[in-house]
Amino acid sequence: MVFLETLMEKTDTQRVKAICRDAGAAALLNRGFHFTMFPIIRLGNRKPVDSEDEIVVMLVPDYQMVSSVEKITASLSDDLPRQLIMWNPCLISEDVGVGINVRNLRRYFSK
């Protein structure tokens, strides 16, 4: 969480949001870092990204979250593009086959 606090200081913004994969991880981080000044939410929230968010940090997004990452990326690329930071991403799993996942990611994120 030091990373997120430093990010807020260096970018001079107070509108940073962190997104976790599930409610358990979000609750654990919120309880462990209750002193922080940014929301830590779960990916399953009805609306994970608000129009006020300037920087969104996805914590450890994995290959099961690819469609959610794409939706969040699309919502951040509106009239005033905002930043998405993926902390320790693992969007491709060799267990389920690399080919189609890599092609889909390359096609989506190389636009």
Q: Could you tell me the residue ranges of all domains in the chain?
A: 2-109
pLDDT of residue 43: 86
Contact in structure between 86 and 46 (CB atoms under 8 Å): no
Instruction: Report the 10 Å Cβ neighbour count for 76.
Output: 17
State the pTM of this model: 0.74
Q: 2-109: which CATH number, 3.20.140, 1.20.1070, 3.40.1350, 3.40.50?
A: 3.40.50
Return all residues near 111 (Cβ < 8 A) that are at least 6 apart. none
> Over its length of 111 residues, how does the chain's per-residue pLDDT go in tens digits?
678 778 888 887 778 888 988 888 888 887 876 656 778 888 888 888 888 888 999 988 887 787 888 888 888 887 777 888 988 877 766 655 556 666 676 666 655
